[in-house]
């Protein structure tokens, strides 16, 4: 017998609010690409430090600095793909959207009284370049969005339609949109 699929999101309810954590959907194409770039530029760092004696010192320093910068950003992207989490925290007066990664955290805070119109945005396409990006899991098809002033904010993505409906209902109930 087929077991029902569990939600990918974790929901933690406390006395001060609710936290919804959704892991980043992994794109193996991006992971392989970033891994190869990281390996190549790590090799550049090693070469500039130990094996490029025929280059002038300024050239070795430039290769080291540029390779280090590239390795930092590719590792940042790689760790986001492997361990990234999108988090929604709803308290009594604010909504916080966070992107958590082992190297960095990015958080935006929104006034709960200004949050309007929570919706599910389905950007599924069947052909063209966007369809290929969705197939490779580089872009997400289903997103939970809300209106904040004149702007549409993406709360979370990387989930399927059924989970999106359930999360939308949980968020609406917590905010008070019944």
Residues 133-148 have pLDDT tens digits of 888 878 888 999 999 9
pTM: 0.82
Q: How far apart are CA 108 and CA 151, in angstroms?
A: 14
pLDDT of residue 3: 83
Cα-based distances in Å from 136 to 25, 27, 133, 140? 11, 6, 5, 10
User: What residue spans define the domains of the chain?
Assistant: 10-23+112-175, 30-81
Q: Residue 20 is encoded by which pair of tokens?
A: 């919804």
Is residue 175 scored above 90 in pLDDT? no
Q: Contact 26/83 with Cβ under 8 angstroms?
A: no
Where does the pLDDT of residue 178 fall: very low under 50, low under 70, confident under 90, or very high at 90 and above? low
């Amino acid at each position: 017998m087929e077991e029902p699929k569990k939600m990918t999101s974790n929901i933690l309810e406390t006395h001060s609010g609710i936290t919804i954590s959704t892991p980043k959907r992994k794109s193996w194409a991006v992971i392989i690409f970033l891994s190869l770039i990281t390996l190549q530029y790590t090799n550049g760092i090693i070469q500039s430090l130990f094996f490029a004696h025929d280059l002038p010192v300024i050239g070795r320093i430039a290769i080291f600095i540029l390779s280090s910068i590239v390795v930092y950003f590719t590792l940042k992207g790689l760790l986001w793909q492997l361990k990234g989490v999108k988090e929604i925290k709803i308290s009594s007066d604010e909504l916080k959207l966070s992107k958590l990664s082992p190297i960095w955290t990015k958080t935006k805070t929104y006034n709960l009284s200004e949050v309007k119109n929570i919706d599910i945005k389905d950007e599924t396409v069947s052909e063209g370049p966007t369809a290929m990006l969705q197939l490779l899991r580089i872009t997400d098809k289903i997103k939970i969005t809300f209106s904040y002033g004149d702007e549409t904010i993406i709360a979370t993505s990387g989930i399927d339609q059924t989970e999106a409906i359930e999360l939308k209902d949980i968020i609406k109930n917590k905010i008070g949109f019944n």
